[in-house]
Structure 1
Amino acid sequence: MEERKLKLYISMSVDGFIATKDDDLSWLSIAEKEGEDYGYAAFTKDVDTYIVGRRTYEVVLKLCEGKFPPAEKFDCYVISREERAPENGVQFYNGDLEKLVYELKQRPGGTIYCDGGGAIVKLLMAKSLIDEYIIFMMPTMLGDGIRLFQGGVKPIGLKALEPKFFEAGVVRLHYVNQ
């Protein structure tokens, strides 16, 4: 059995931010274009597990009026520092993230999709657990906010795959961990 892959699939501003300081994501709407999903449907076709940080989870809940859309399609793990009972179709996990990812990769299944946030990405990078980085560079600079890559990890060698350019100015960058 081939080990499952963990893929980071996320958007960021040209200057490296995934949200403003107050967790605002409204700037992502600059790339909304009817009929364009930026490859999301194709990407999620093989996904069955979703990992996200608690802050990102709470932002999505606010944006979606208390619903968490990924839970309708995937097994969802919200990484949290506190113990919480499952809700909205998600399981909260406050244990060792490396252990969770290792266990998920050993189980049969599809792709494991990570959607941030920055602190979760840093933890995963520190243990070289991200197999692919699929980053959508949005045509804006926020100037400040929450960084996708927070630093403090050892260098990681990546192989670049073909970028994809979209009409709205979005560029998809795709890297594979070597």
Structure 2
Amino acid sequence: MRQLLDISGFWPGLASAWRGEGRGVGWAIGFGLALDAALVLTFASWSAAVPAGWGWFFAGLCWVLVLGLSVAGRKRGPARDEQVEAWFVEAQRHYLRGHWIEAETLVGRLLARRPDDVEARLLLASIERRTGRRAEARATLRRLRDCPPAAGWRFEIEAEMRQLEEREAEAERGQRAA
């Protein structure tokens, strides 16, 4: 997949369009139109009024501009994403060891940078459930359930909700028995 995205860099905007970015679709269409215009100006006999060099100039300008923006974006973007990913991995490590405070601190830092991170919110709900903060866990899960990017995580969200309900039922049975 990574090689496909590297190859797609030869068509400006194609890589970002592949990732679902609207700006990339615009650049890809714009470059396509500039390239089409350059080809028409070069090979059509009726286009003698406009020199073909202008078409190639604009197509090349579009290509260089998008390439420059892409390189600048790569220099800015990945370091931040790598940091966020490192926080998530470290939060998971603390979670698996039962270090709830450390895990929640890292998840909070991550969510401050990426508030719509579904995986981090799901981990937060699990931490809240395990630390006995059932109302907070329920609120986090409801917020996740209503979040459109969480559609792919419905099964996990529902499983976490079931575990929360089981924990609440156990607490009620314990209170009745006492």
Q: Does TM, normalized by the shorter one, top 0.5?
A: no
Larger Rg belongs to: 2
Which of the five TM-score ranges fits, normalised by the shorter chain? under 0.3
Structure having the larger proportion of residues in helix: 2
Higher relative contact order (CA 8 A, sep 6+): 1
Q: TM-score, normalised by structure 1?
A: 0.25
Structure having the larger proportion of residues in strand: 1
Q: TM-score, normalised by structure 2?
A: 0.25
